[in-house]
Every structure is written in structure tokens, then in C-alpha cells.
Structure 1
Amino acid sequence: MKKIESNHFVNHLYIKKQMSRKKTIMIFHGWGSSVHNYKRPAENLSTLGFKIIVPEIIFHDSRSKFENHFLKEVTQKYFWKTIFRSIDEASLLFEELGILKEDTILMGISMGGFIANGIYANGQNFAGLVNINGSGSFLLSEKIFRQNDHRPRLSIAETKEINIYNPIDKIACPSPILLMHGEQDTIVSIEGQKDYFNFLTESDTVHDVIFNIYKNVNHSFSEEMMENLKQWLVKKF
């Protein structure tokens, strides 16, 4: 593992001696997690011949990390701020790393799935997208979050802000998409993935999307998910 530092970002690079596939997988981690928690899956995927990059996300690791991400007031105030900031700074991240978007597979788990999906929806030339236990339907997911927390409904201004970034109704590029979700997820409802999948399958541009649902799996990235992910990557790239 090698750490790459630039003017704005700290990124963790995983690469085997022989990079047999000319693609980079960029992995965005979940809320309250860390790049260090992704060492094992990153190294696992790198054995397939991909270059793996795990960028540090705002409010995590060395980037103004909170003491406790899981305080309700912290999560409610900064969850979407983190997602939106990460989407906004994606172009600069790619520019500083010197990586071509068309050679990059965006991947994210939980909050990282939201981020990867949002970046993917803003560009038309990424190699692919993997969203694991996240959502590509931002507005629906926030409505569910608020229902579960017994919070007030979204204001008009809040709705408009989310829809600026919402992948729903944005033209998706025709590259391969893999959606994976635990059916029993109590943290990020599977309904957001279902809604995005329905949007994609009704689109005229997307013809290569797979949605795998895992019974008896909560908000976790299971061994079966990893094996299915590796099979998909080998087949598509």
C-alpha cells in the first residue's frame, strides 16, 4: 500500500506488481468509516490486476475528522454535506491524480455508494459503477431517513438542493452498473437502490445493469457479495 498526497487530497493506492487490467477502481468508504478499514477488500480486488485507489473523504481520517460520526445531530447535519462535497470535488481529484475517467470504475459502500453514484451521474464516460448498500435515489432515501428518525418533512429548499445531486432523472452513461444490497438493511433502505434500478431499466441509454439482492443480509458487505463483485469485474473488464 502506498499513500499519495496532493495539494488537496490524501489517497491510498493498492497495486500488485503486475497490473494486468488497464482499469482503476476508486473505492469510497462509508459514513464514520476510514480508508484503513478498506485495506483488505482493496488488496483483494487488486489481485485481479486492477489499480485500487481509496480516497480520504472530508470529515474523515486526516480531513477534519469528527470525534463521533454517529451522534444523531452530527449525522443529520453532515451526512449529505459530505456526499455533496465529495461529488463536487471529484473532477479536481481526478485531475490531481492524472487518472482518466473512462478508465475508472467508481465503487462505494454505504455512504460511499451514494458518493460513487452521484459522481457517476455527473459524468458520461466512466468505465463502470458499483453501488453496495448505498442509494442512487437521494430524495427517496432522505425521505426514508426522516421517517425512520421521526423528523419533519423536507422543505422546498432542501428538496431542491438534494435534486441538484440526485442521480434520478440524470442521463446515465451506458457503461456497466452493478447494484448490490442486503435485503434486511436497517441503516440504508434497499428502496433507494430499487428506485434507481427502476429508473435505469426504463432508460433508453442503459443496457447493462445488474441488481443483486442478498437475503438475510443487513448493512454489511458479505463474503458472497465480494465473490459476486469479483466475478462481475472479471467478466466485464
Structure 2
Amino acid sequence: MVIHSSESNSNQKLPFHLFQGTNKKAPILVIYHGWAGSTAGYYDLAEELQEQGYTVVLPDIVHHDSRGTIENYFDVSTRQQMFWGTVFQTIDEFDILVAELKIDKKNILVIGSSMGGFIASSIFAKNHDIQGLVNVNGSGAFIVADEFFRRSDGRDELSGKQRVLLETYDPIRYLHSGKPVLLMHGDSDQTIDISGQYAYYAHCSSPDVTFDIYNEVDHQFTEDMVDGLKFWLSENFS
């Protein structure tokens, strides 16, 4: 693994962790972790995928790891104030990451878990050259997800201004590129409701979109899901 950094628009360091693979024909896998997660939590997965020949990139996300931390990620008011801003900034930084990697977007496949699934889905929706998407326990329908968050927290409905901002990034507001997509979600997820995945699956309406639901699984990236990811990659990109 090699750690690199570039400059973001705010002149902050934009670090990423690179696991160089041997298969030059395989897509480069850019993996985004979840809220309160860490790139270190994906080292094992990155190494497994690297052993299969894939080059893997794990970007550090703002307010996480080397880019600053939050005292209590699970404080309700903190999450409400900072979650979407973190998602939006990471999406906006994708072009900086691509420039630093010195690769074409057509050589990239984006993967995300939980909050990372939101990020990866929007990046994929906005960049039709990207080879594919894997969304694990996240959402490709931002308005649907936010409505769930607000119901869970007992908050008021979205204001018009807030809705317009969410729609700017919402994957279901963009035409599906037709590239392969894998959606995975636990049917017992209490953190991010599966309704966002259903909405995105319906939006894509494509035979190239696979939606795998894992029974009696809460908000977890299980070994079965990892196996499903590796199988899907081998079937679509080997």
C-alpha cells in the first residue's frame, strides 16, 4: 500500500491509499467508507481485491482519518448538520482524485458502503464514463433517504431550498448510463432504510443492475456481501 496526497480546492491535503494490482485490464476500484468509518477498516478488503489483480484506491474522506475527526459522530445534531455536507464535498472532490491518479474515468469502478454508497452512487450517476457501481447498505435516492432520516429523528419535512440542493446530487435525477450496477442491502437495516435502494433500482430499470438483499442482516458489510462483490466483479469484469 502507498499513501498519496493532492491539494483540494481549499488547499487542504486530499490523501488516498493505493493498493497496486497486477491486472492492467481490470477497472481501478475506488472504495468509499461510511460515516464514522475509516480507510483502515477497508485495508483487508483492499488486499483481498489486490490479490485478485485489482488496483484499489481508498480516499480519505473529509472529517475522517487524516482530514480531521468529529468528537462524537453519533450525536444526533452533529450527524444532522454534517452528514450531507460530507457527502457533497466528497462527490465534488472526485475530479481532484482522478487528476491525481492520472487515469481516465472510463478505467474506474466506484464502490461505497453506507455513506460511501451515497457518495459512490452520485459519482457514478454524474460520470457516465465510469465502468460500474457497487452500493452496499447505502442509497441511490437522496430525497427518499433524507425523508427516512427525518422521520426517524422526528424532524420537519425538507424545505424547498434543501430539496433543491439534494436534487443537485441525487442519483435518481440523472439518466442511468447502462453500466453494470450491484446493489446490496440487509433487509433488517435500521440505520439506512432499504427503500432508497429499491427506488434507485426502479429508476435504473436495466438488466445490468443486480439487487441482492441479505436476510436478517442489519447495517453490516458481511463476509457474504464481500463474497458477492468478488463474484460480481469476476462475472462482469474478468
- Normalised-by-shorter TM-score class: over 0.9
Counting only pairs closer than 5 Å after superposition, residues 124-135 of structure 1 correspond to structure 2 as: 124-135=128-139
What amino acid is the match of 2:155? R
**Structure 2: gaps (5+ residues):** 9-13
Matched residue of 1:210: which SS? strand
Counting only pairs closer than 5 Å after superposition, residues 79-94 of structure 1 correspond to structure 2 as: 79-94=83-98
What amino acid is the match of 2:162? E
- Say if 2:227 is the partner of 1:230: no
TM-score when normalising by structure 2: 0.94
RMSD, aligned CA: 1.1
Q: Percent identity, aligned pairs only?
A: 39
- State how far apart, in whole Å, the 2-side matches of 1:133 and 1:163 are: 20
Matched residue of 2:172: which SS? coil
C-alpha contact (below 8 Å) 1:169/1:199 kept by paired residues: no
Counting only pairs closer than 5 Å after superposition, residues 46-57 of structure 1 correspond to structure 2 as: 46-57=50-61
- State how far apart, in whole Å, the 2-side matches of 1:169 and 1:161 are: 12
- State how far apart, in whole Å, the 2-side matches of 1:81 and 1:156 are: 17
Matched residue of 2:171: which SS? coil
C-alpha contact (below 8 Å) 1:138/1:167 kept by paired residues: yes
The residue that corresponds to 2:42 in the other structure is 38
- Say if 2:65 is the partner of 1:61: yes
Cα deviations by residue, 1:45-91 (Å, 9 ceiling, x for unpaired): 11111100000001111112212211111110000000011111111
C-alpha contact (below 8 Å) 2:167/2:173 kept by paired residues: no
TM-score when normalising by structure 1: 0.95
Counting only pairs closer than 5 Å after superposition, residues 195-214 of structure 1 correspond to structure 2 as: 195-201=199-205, 206-214=206-214
**Structure 1: gaps (5+ residues):** none
Q: Which residue, out of 170, 176, 181, partners 2:174?
A: 170
C-alpha contact (below 8 Å) 1:21/1:49 kept by paired residues: no
Runs of 4+ in structure 1 displaced over 2 angstroms? 18-22
- Residue 15 of structure 1 deviates from its aligned partner by 2.5
**Does the C-alpha gap of structure 1 residues 45 and 172 become closer, same or farther in structure 2, counting only changes over 3 Å?**
same
Q: Which residue, out of 26, 31, 41, partners 1:27?
A: 31
How many residue pairs are counted as aligned between the two chains?
232
